[in-house]
Structures are given as C-alpha cells and as structure tokens.
A and B are shown apart, each in its own frame.
Chain A
Amino acid sequence: MSGDCDPLTSDREAAIDAGATARTATAGAHWHMLYASVRGAAHRRNGLPNQDAVRISRTGPGLVLALADGHGSATSFRSQQGARLAVAVALQVAARWPELPTASHHKRRAEDDWPKELVRGWQAVVDARLGRRPFTAAELHPLEPSARQRLERNPRLAWGSTLLSVILTPSSILYLQLGDGDLLVVDDNGQVNRPLPADPRLLGNETTSLCAPEAWREARVYCQTLVAAPPALILAATDGYANAFRDDAGFRQVASDLWVMLRDEGQATVQAQLAGWLNETSAQGSGDDISVGILWREAT
C-alpha cells in the first residue's frame, strides 16, 4: 500500500489527536453526537500519552462512531498510533458502506464482511507504516529478548489496539467490538442494556486485539433494527471508564444519567462538562485513559 492510502494524513491525525476536547455536531434529523477522550491519571503520573482515540462522523449511510484503545504495553510501543489508525480505518470502511434495502441486508453484510474489512484495512496500513519506518534501536532497546522475539514473529504487535464501532443506517444500528471496552444503549424508559454480552476472556489486562493474525474471528457484531423501538442513547467507552466504578451498576448508570442530562439540560451543558467528568473519573477510579462516544436521539 502506498503512503497515499494511509488514512492518517497529517491534518486528520491532528484532528483525531484533539480528543481531550468534547466535540459535538448534529447529524440526521434527530440524532446528535458528542465525544471526548482524556489522558489517564496514571498516564500523567508516569509520563505516558493518551493511547485512546475516538471520533464520530457523518458517513455514507448515516453516522459512524469509532473508538480504540492502544495496548500501551512495552511491546506495543506504537499503540497510540495504532489506536488512531483503527479509528481512521473504521471511518473509511463506514464511508464505503453501501446503501442496502433492508436491515437484513445490513446484518448480513456486517456479519460477513465488516470485521474482515476493518482488520485487513488496519493491518494493511500498519504494514505500510512498518515498511516506511522500521523499528528503531531506541524502540527495541528497552525490550526483553523474549519480547523482541514476539515482535519479530508479529510486528503488528507494536501497534496493538482494540476497536469498537457503531454504524447508524436508516434501517438499523450495527455494533462491532474487538477487544475490551463497553457498548451501552438506553431505551426511551431509561433502561440500560448491552447490545453485546460481556466477553469472559477479557479479564484483567488481557484483550483481544487488531494485531492478531486473524483478528476478525475475535470481533463480535450485533445488528439492531430501527423499525420497532430505536435506542434513545448509544454509548461506547474504553475500558478505563467501566473500571473506574465500584461495580457494573455504577457504570451503567453513566448512560442513563447522560441521557437524562442531555434531554433535560441540553448537549451544550453536557459537552462543556464531559472532559472534566472523565478526568475526575480517571483520577478517583481506574487511572486509565478514558474515551467515550455518544449518539443520542431527540424525543419526537
């Protein structure tokens, strides 16, 4: 792949890097979006960057939300870039999403093709970047011999990242999760649910990853039709958010609280506070980077 195909041109990369500021825009007739990303309290103490990335954008069929968490381990020393590439590739893939007549067609395409397009797209740009800028002695020097061997076997490990993506089409909502993180939906009664069940393999600090050779097999996909009762709010977050709460109920309450605030006090109020809340949550909770993307629907 040539450098021209790299999804992170310099200006786009800068835009995505501005994750610490809450952003907002209106898309479609009734849906709104906002997102924010903050550097974790532990990352600040240890001089580490924010290794998350998040973006929401208008796209071919409607809206796309993409959110990624770079692994940050010593072996994944380019994972900040890996997370940004994951988000950029997810936006590209969504932009190419065809217009399809029914939710069933979207579901079939999402299950058959979406994970492979995302993984292969991310792996292609990572391979191209490695070709243009091989690992340096300074990057490899801190690694143990066994870590270097792992990297020789799979250089993509250096960019290792998770990916969560949501595509909103006129007929359906498509959810994809590869690795840790959380997807929550709130219905019109304020009830919070997970479109995808928890993955018991994602315990502690281990996560499935885009860098695995056939990572698309690890992706989980769900298609929700918009015909019946569309959600009032969709929230995607990196795992630093849920890990900051004493229990899962406390984290799920984030989604219902945000829905009430957005409905009653408006997006501008929430937008102005969001990054501050995330900083407080990281400092008093997990210490990890926290990124969140929110799509919400005005009551009709």
Chain B
Amino acid sequence: MPKRPGSELASRPLHFIWIADCSGSMSVDGKIQSLNTAIREALPHMRAVADENPNAEVLVRAVAFASSAHWHVSQPLRVADFQWTDLQTEGLTAMGEALNLVAQQLRMPPMTDRALPPVLVLISDGQPTDDFAAGLDALMREPWGKKAVRVAIAIGEDADHEPLQRFIGHPELQPLQANNPEALVRHIKWVSTAVLKSASSPASQAAGLPAGLNVPIPTPTAGPSSAADVW
C-alpha cells in the first residue's frame, strides 16, 4: 500500500501572548498579586481548551512592561509546559515598547503563513508613558499584527481606555474593566478559554467587506455588582 503523499503533518500554531503592565502603580492595592494569581489559576482552564482541539498548537509567552519592556517568558511554550512566574513592579508604563517587542516576533519569519491568528492580551492600570503610537504602528505594520485577536483588560478606574481601545482597533469590542480581583480573575479566565477556543478553530471570513471581527469573539461573561470594587 503506498504511503500518504506529502511530508510531515503538523497542527497549526496559535501564539497567545500576555502583555502585562508592571509599572509602579500595579503594586497598589494588590493589583499585581491579583494578576499573577489570575493568570496562574487560568492555566488549567487554558490547557483544557487546548486539549479539546488537537489541530491547534497553543504556544504561550509573556511581555512585561514598566520603565522598559522585556520578554517575561521569551520562548513560545506549549500551554502544557507553560508555568507562570510572578511579575514584579517598578517604574513607568512603556506600553509602546511592549507592542514593539511583540511586533518583532510577529514578523514572517519567525511566524509562518499557516499559523492561526495570534491572540494578544494587553493588561494595564494606567496610561502609556512612552511613544505608544509608534509601538502600535509597528504592530499594525505586521500582517499578523493586523490579523491578531487583540483583547485589552483595564485594571482600576484610573486605567486609560483610549490606548486600549486603539490597540483593540475595533468598535465591536471594548476593553474589559476590572475594578476588583474577582473581575480580573473572570476576565483572565474568559480570554484564556472563550477567546482561545474561538481563535483555535476560526471559520473563514470574507475579506474586504464591511468590517467584522477577524475571529468572532463571544460575549464576555457579566460580572457581579461593583460593591466590592477596590481599584
């Protein structure tokens, strides 16, 4: 019996990148501890979603930004191997530099044209202190930056929604507001599961027609009342 034609088969890579604010203000009222906890607690749910779809290889990494930006987890790791190391806070909010770092990794190569649309999750409690527009431009110049599923989480009432909305780049999706640890956990879990699931098996979309989301994003789960708001 002849062998199957063609060479090595592989599931399609899905890059999931946390882009986390570690500026000094994130140390206030336990925000950074809550973020570390929320991401760590979401990992088992993320792994479960990845296990449900063997045709997508979920690869996770993280960028941290404060007075400068750096890769907190630089190598794309399979979600089964991904462990969360706590973020530490200091300094300002180099959000633009963080987007620049992500843009460099979304170039082809190292990306390939057979990837699934990447998922980028930007989390911040403030406003950029560097050239945010330059970073966003660099990201959007990359074909995979434009095609990425871009989600933003605003922590606390002082978070500036304007840059987060520009990052999302679509009026149908607004930044998710987290004013307490429970809301943050809920939002982190939502992007780790519902958004990841949608991105890992996207149907084709007709391009060039009136704008729709590249990947349909499910409606976020509603939160409880704001009585417990602390941020």
Contact = CB atoms under 8 A, between A and B. Distances in A.
A101 interface: no
A24 to B, nearest CB: 16
Nearest to B56: A287
Given A73-B205, A253-B5, A258-B5, A206 B214 contact: yes
Interface string A219-260: 000000000000000000001001111110111011101100
A87 interface: no
Interface string B147-159: 1000000000000
Interface in B19-75: 52-56
A239 B116 CA distance: 13
A100 interface: no
B2 A273 contact: yes
Contacts, number: 160
Interface string B1-14: 11011111111100
A42 B55 contact: yes
Contacts of A135: none
A157 B206 contact: yes
Given A73-B216, A247-B112, A212 B9 contact: no
A246 B57 CA distance: 12
Residue among A202, A218, A250, A287 with max Cβ neighbours from chain B (10 Å): A287
A121 interface: no
Interface in B200-214: 201-210, 212, 214
Interface of A: 41-42, 45-46, 69, 71-76, 144, 146-147, 149-150, 153-154, 157, 160, 162, 180, 198, 200-209, 211-212, 218, 239, 242-247, 249-251, 253-255, 257-258, 261, 265, 269-270, 273, 277, 280-288
